[in-house]
A and B are shown apart, each in its own frame.
Chain A
Amino acid sequence: MAFLEINRLHKQYGNVEVLKGVDIAIEEGGFLVLVGPSGCGKSTLLNSIAGLESITSGEIAIDGKVVNDLHPSKRDIAMVFQSYALYPSMSVAENIAFGLEMRGVSKAEREEAIQGVAGMLQIEHLLKRRPGQLSGGQRQRVAMGRALVRDPKLFLFDEPLSNLDAKLRVDMRTEIKRLHQKLGTTIVYVTHDQIEAMTLATQIAVLKDGILQQVGSPDEVYSKPANMFVADFMGSPTMNLIEARIENGSGALSVEIPQRDRSLSLPVPRPPSSLQSYSGKSVVLGIRPEDITDPDGADPKAEHIAHANCSVEVVEPTGADTFVVTQLGGKEVTGRMRNAAGLSVGADVPFAFNMGKIHFFDPATEQRIA
Chain B
Amino acid sequence: MSAASKDTALRTGVIARALIYAILLVFAVFYLLPLFVMLVNSVKPLEEIRQGNMLAFPELFTIEPWIQAWGEAQIGVQPTGLKPYFINSLVMVIPAVIISTLLGAINGYVLTKWQFPGHRIVFGLMLFSCFIPFQIVLIPMARILGMLDLAGTTYGLILVHVVYGLGFTTLFFRNYYDAFPTELIRAATIDGAGFFRIFQRILLPSSGPIIVVTVIWQFTNVWNDFLFGASFADFDSQPMTVALNNLVSSSTGVKEYNVHFAGAILAALPTLIVYIVSGRYFVRGLMAGAVKG
Q: Closest A-chain residue to B180, C-beta based? A: A88
B140 CB-CB contact with A under 8 Å: no
Please give, as numbers and ranges, the residues of chain A lying within 8 Å of B193 by CB-CB distance: 73, 98, 102
B168–chain A nearest beta-carbon distance, Å:
25
Complexed CA–CA distance, A199 and B108 (Å): 43
Q: Closest B-chain residue to A82, C-beta based? A: B183
Please give, as numbers and ranges, the residues of chain B lying within 8 Å of A79 by CB-CB distance: 186-187, 190
B292 CB-CB contact with A under 8 Å: yes
User: Which residues of B191-236 have CB atoms within 8 Å of chain A's CB atoms?
Assistant: 191-193, 197, 201-202, 205-206
A41 CB-CB contact with B under 8 Å: no
CB–CB A81/B186 < 8 A: yes
Please give, as numbers and ranges, the residues of chain A lying within 8 Å of B249 by CB-CB distance: none
A253 CB-CB contact with B under 8 Å: no
- What are 22 A-B interface contacts by the 8 Å CB criterion? A47-B186, A50-B190, A52-B186, A52-B190, A72-B189, A73-B189, A73-B193, A77-B190, A81-B187, A84-B293, A85-B293, A86-B293, A87-B187, A87-B188, A87-B202, A88-B184, A88-B292, A89-B205, A98-B191, A102-B193, A103-B192, A146-B187
CB–CB A73/B192 < 8 A: yes
Complexed CA–CA distance, A50 and B188 (Å): 12
Complexed CA–CA distance, A79 and B191 (Å): 9
Q: Closest B-chain residue to A94, C-beta based? A: B201
Interface string of A128-153 (1 = CB under 8 A from B): 00011000000100000010000000
Please give, as numbers and ranges, the residues of chain B lying within 8 Å of A231 by CB-CB distance: none
Q: Closest B-chain residue to A87, C-beta based? A: B202
A213 CB-CB contact with B under 8 Å: no
CB–CB B192/A99 < 8 A: yes
Q: CB < 8 Å: which of A50, A72, A88, A146 contacts B293?
A: A88
A185–chain B nearest beta-carbon distance, Å:
15
Please give, as numbers and ranges, the residues of chain B lying within 8 Å of A93 by CB-CB distance: none
Complexed CA–CA distance, A83 and B180 (Å): 12
CB–CB B292/A132 < 8 A: yes
Chain A interface residue count, CB cutoff 8 Å, equals 26
Complexed CA–CA distance, A230 and B196 (Å): 45
Please give, as numbers and ranges, the residues of chain B lying within 8 Å of A146 by CB-CB distance: 187, 191
Chain B interface residue count, CB cutoff 8 Å, equals 19
Q: Which residues of B line the A interface, CB within 8 A?
A: 181, 183-184, 186-193, 197, 201-202, 205-206, 291-293
User: Which residues of A15-39 have CB atoms within 8 Å of chain B's CB atoms?
Assistant: none
Given A79-B186, A87-B184, A89-B206, verify A102-B292 contact (CB < 8 Å).
Answer: no
Q: Which residues of A line the B interface, CB within 8 A?
A: 47, 50, 52, 72-73, 77-79, 81-90, 98-99, 102-103, 131-132, 139, 146
Please give, as numbers and ranges, the residues of chain B lying within 8 Å of A78 by CB-CB distance: 190
| 3 nearest A-B pairs in the assembled complex, by CB-CB distance | A89-B205, A99-B191, A102-B192
Given A89-B205, A102-B197, verify A83-B293 contact (CB < 8 Å).
Answer: yes
B106–chain A nearest beta-carbon distance, Å:
18
Please give, as numbers and ranges, the residues of chain B lying within 8 Å of A86 by CB-CB distance: 293
Q: CB < 8 Å: which of B197, B202, B205, B293 contacts A131?
A: B293
Complexed CA–CA distance, A81 and B187 (Å): 8
List 11 extra interface pairs beyond A73-B193, A146-B187, CB under 8 A: A52-B189, A72-B189, A73-B190, A87-B188, A87-B201, A88-B292, A89-B202, A89-B205, A90-B205, A98-B188, A99-B191
Please give, as numbers and ranges, the residues of chain A lying within 8 Å of B188 by CB-CB distance: 87, 98
Please give, as numbers and ranges, the residues of chain B lying within 8 Å of A88 by CB-CB distance: 184, 205-206, 291-293
Complexed CA–CA distance, A233 and B192 (Å): 37
Please give, as numbers and ranges, the residues of chain B lying within 8 Å of A82 by CB-CB distance: 183
Q: CB < 8 Å: which of B183, B189, B202, B206 contacts A83?
A: B183
Complexed CA–CA distance, A98 and B192 (Å): 9
- Which of B187, B188, B192, B197 is packed against the most chain A CB atoms within 10 Å? B187
CB–CB B181/A85 < 8 A: yes
- Which of A77, A82, A102, A146 is packed against the most chain B CB atoms within 10 Å? A102
Q: CB < 8 Å: which of A47, A102, A132 contacts B191?
A: A102
Complexed CA–CA distance, A146 and B183 (Å): 14
Q: Closest B-chain residue to A74, C-beta based? A: B192
Complexed CA–CA distance, A131 and B197 (Å): 20
Please give, as numbers and ranges, the residues of chain A lying within 8 Å of B186 by CB-CB distance: 47, 50, 52, 72, 79, 81, 85
